[in-house]
Amino acid sequence: MTSELVRLTVAQARRLLDRREVSAIELLEAHLAQIERLEPRIHAFITLTPDLARRQAQAADARIARGEATLLTGIPIALKDNLCTVDAPTTAGSRILQGFVSPYDATVVARLREHDAVFVGKTNTDEFAMGSSTENSAFGSTRNPWDLDRVPGGSSGGSAAAVAAGEAMLALGSDTGGSIRQPAGFCGIVGLKPTYGRVSRYGLIAFASSLDQIGPFGRTVEDIAILLQAIAGHDPADSTSVPVAVPDYRAALTGDIRGLRIGIPAEYRVGGMDPAVEEAIEQALVTLQELGAELVPISLPHTEYALATYYIIAPSEASANLARYDGIKYGLSLPGETLLERYLRTRGEGFGPEVKRRIMLGTYALSAGYYDAYYVKAQKVRTLIKRDFDEAFARVDVIAAPTSPTVAFRLGERTADPLQMYLSDVFTIPANMAGLPAIAVPCGFVHDLPVSLQFMGRPFDEATLLRVAHAYERATSWHTRWPKLAVEV
């Protein structure tokens, strides 16, 4: 029975819960049993919260009994460990925040509490969300459920692995340059980065404030729509949150994409792309045509500068955001004979090598004599990248592209070569630079590892993205496959 419960979609679980054929406690215990069985091998979580989850499941059962359940009442959810929670530590995968408990909840967490969702734990992440493999965490690497010798992607690799392995039905992550979509792709599940400003960032530990966005992981597009519905919407506590109406995302899942124009950018065919991945993407495009969509060749000419632009803007913002970790206000605090020595010891021992690398890159780009040459120029190129997308969306409804140029790579394979690691996000970064919504969906397997297709949409038009992704999902069966270790008895 446990294996059957952890393989339910949210929509299926909702029906069973509402008919009282299964309780929220039973659903939770099935997932906790899966965590106990698999977590020693996968390490998707930094902190598990079984006692909290049981209290929440009991409250959910009471709400269901009163006939007041929402779509998320009683659903086990994992939270990326850079989302503040009042009743569990928030480390952002860094020693400098080890043991820190926030005095407030992130807005997305508070909204899920209102639904009586059930929090099973805080998931592993690259330190301060800086990475593409979840190997930069101060608390150890997460492993891909499809192959334990491979990475789950990053930085939200813990959230992706937890959902892929049946340790949680849904999860939240954050996406600064692909940190939801790339791990969703590597782990064979669905991941959505909403439009910048669609979901409140209040209570998200900042990496790069003009790029960060919180979004959902799930096993199906419908599950993603359900979770997005709960967390989307304006928040006065976040000055970048936009007061735009939130549509009914599940109503958009019509399965009909006849006449929809899908842009195929020439610039997303890059050297070093796995030919088998490219073939899987081509077959996915054929499926979209068979569903009645029109494929339209487009050009996004400044795409080739997106990666370089990102690695000036993101580290610059990180340099400013991470200045607050000084050993005085919260988190790790190491003694020193002078205030400066205290700062140096705390930051020197508290931050890992990738975080230090990005702080140095960002500080350099913002320094006198280089600010105009690097940071200002990067912001101008960012404008050109967004303009490319604006022009493309005058002709097409969505844009299709690979999520990643390869399948999941081996643990340790790219840690010594930062450039190769950064290239993992070459297809996902442009959407962040332009503030656009983008979704990753399973579209095949290569070497028994998942391949992922990405759709990008107009600002605040997540509904169309979900509609296209859902139509593709209905026409294929890739999303129904599970890693062997997740279903073995």
| Residues designated as active site | 80, 155, 179
The tokens of 236 are what?
């006065």
Please check whether residue 315 is in contact with residue 362, taking contact to mean a CB–CB distance below 8 angstroms: yes
- CA 199 – CA 181 distance, rounded (Å): 16
Cross-strand pairs, 401: 454
C-alpha separations of 312 from 166, 235, 371, 391 in Å: 37, 29, 10, 25
In degrees rounded to 5, what are phi and psi of residue 370? -120, -15
DSSP H helices in 212-328: 221-231, 275-290, 306-321
CA dist., res. 228 & res. 220, Å (int) = 12
On whether the CB atoms of residues 189 and 173 are closer than 8 A, the answer is no
DSSP 8-state secondary structure symbol assigned to residue 454:
E
Query: How far apart, in whole angstroms, are the C-alpha atoms of residue 72 and residue 109?
Result: 13
Say which residues have a Cβ less than 8 Å from residue 468's Cβ, sequence separation at least 6: 257, 260, 262, 288, 293, 397, 398, 455
| Buried/exposed 215-242: b ≥16 CB within 10 Å, e otherwise | bbbbbbbbbbbbbbbbbbbebeebeebe
Residue 427 in tokens:
């297809």
Q: How would you list the strands of the sheet with 76-80, edge to edge?
A: 45-48, 118-123, 76-80, 170-174, 214-218, 190-193, 438-446, 449-457, 398-402, 261-265, 294-298
Contact 275, 357 (CB under 8 A): no
Helix axes 275-290, 462-475, angle to 10 degrees: 100
Residues whose CB falls within 8 Å of the CB of residue 347, separated by 6 or more in sequence, listed in order? 96, 325, 326, 327
User: DSSP letter at 288?
Assistant: H
d(CA 152, CA 409): 9
Distance separating alpha carbons of residues 112 and 104, to the nearest angstrom: 14
Q: Which two tokens stand for residue 206?
A: 């900042």
Task: For the beta carbon of residue 344, count every other beta carbon within 10 angstroms.
Answer: 14
